Amino acid sequence: MELLTPEEGQMALRSARGAIEYVCAKKPKPALKLTPVFNEKRGVFVTLNIKGELRGCIGLPYPVMPLGKAIEHAAGAAAREDPRFPPVRKEELEEITVEVTILTVPEPLKGDPPERPGNVIVGRHGLIARGMGTSGLLLPQVATEYGWDATTFLDHTCMKAGLPNRCWTYPTVEILTFEGQIFSEKK
């Protein structure tokens, strides 16, 4: 995956912020001249925080739409549709810090189930647990933020999917990895 430049990362953040302000306060979206990378289909997540606490996080793990549209979609959904939180209010906009994570295409984690922890690189890999009709995803930065080792990261990804603890040991549960390029507003 071609990495975004720091300038393109700032464009991604401005686009996400503009989409959030549009859906929450009906402010016009900024007129940004995006570079060609924003026309490529990419996976993306937008995370919203207030004073270091999660306020919303929604994304598209697979490259199903052009990056520019995917950022706007994920940002609006993180602000208004994350089922864990009430919709973001206009009054909260100044307090929110936006983070955009551009994803590589998820790939199956190599190795048989007992070998999985040894193949997870904490701080580099994000994880998806998929099986029994459900799935869950944790971004690469989550394990680092909580100080988890690979086994704990796998366990929490299973929990996020609503799957049994240690489901990553089941041959019927698929574990996928991906990487992310993270851009964050500074507050």
Domain containing 40 — which CATH number?
Answer: 3.30.700.20
**Does residue 32 fall inside a structural domain?**
yes
The number of CA neighbours under 13 Å toward the Cβ of 38 is 19
98 and 111 share one domain: no
Cα-Cα-Cα-Cα dihedral of 9, 11, 17, 18, to 10°? -160
Tens-digit pLDDT profile for residues 23-76: 999 999 888 999 999 999 999 999 999 999 999 999 999 999 999 999 999 999
Q: CA-to-CA distance for 175 and 92, rounded, in angstroms? A: 36
Whole-model pTM? 0.94
43 and 31 share one domain: yes
Q: CA-to-CA distance for 98 and 125, rounded, in angstroms? A: 21
**Does residue 95 fall inside a structural domain?**
yes
- Specify the DSSP element, H or E, that contains 158: helix 150-160
**Does residue 75 fall inside a structural domain?**
yes
Q: CA-to-CA distance for 64 and 125, rounded, in angstroms? A: 20
Q: How many Cβ atoms sit within 10 Å of the Cβ of residue 105?
A: 14
Residue at a domain's end among 77, 103, 129: 103
In 53-95 the beta strands, taken as DSSP E runs, fall at: 53-60
Residue at a domain's end among 103, 118, 139: 103
Tens-digit pLDDT profile for residues 157-183: 999 999 998 999 999 999 999 999 999
**Does residue 65 fall inside a structural domain?**
yes
Q: What is the mean pLDDT of the chain?
A: 96
15 and 99 share one domain: yes
- Counting the structural domains of the chain, the total is 2
18 and 39 share one domain: yes
| Phi, psi dihedrals of residue 63, rounded to the nearest 5° | -80, 85
Helix/strand/coil for 168: helix
51 and 28 share one domain: yes
Helix/strand/coil for 23: helix
Look up the domain containing 95 and give its range. Answer: 6-103
**Does residue 175 fall inside a structural domain?**
yes
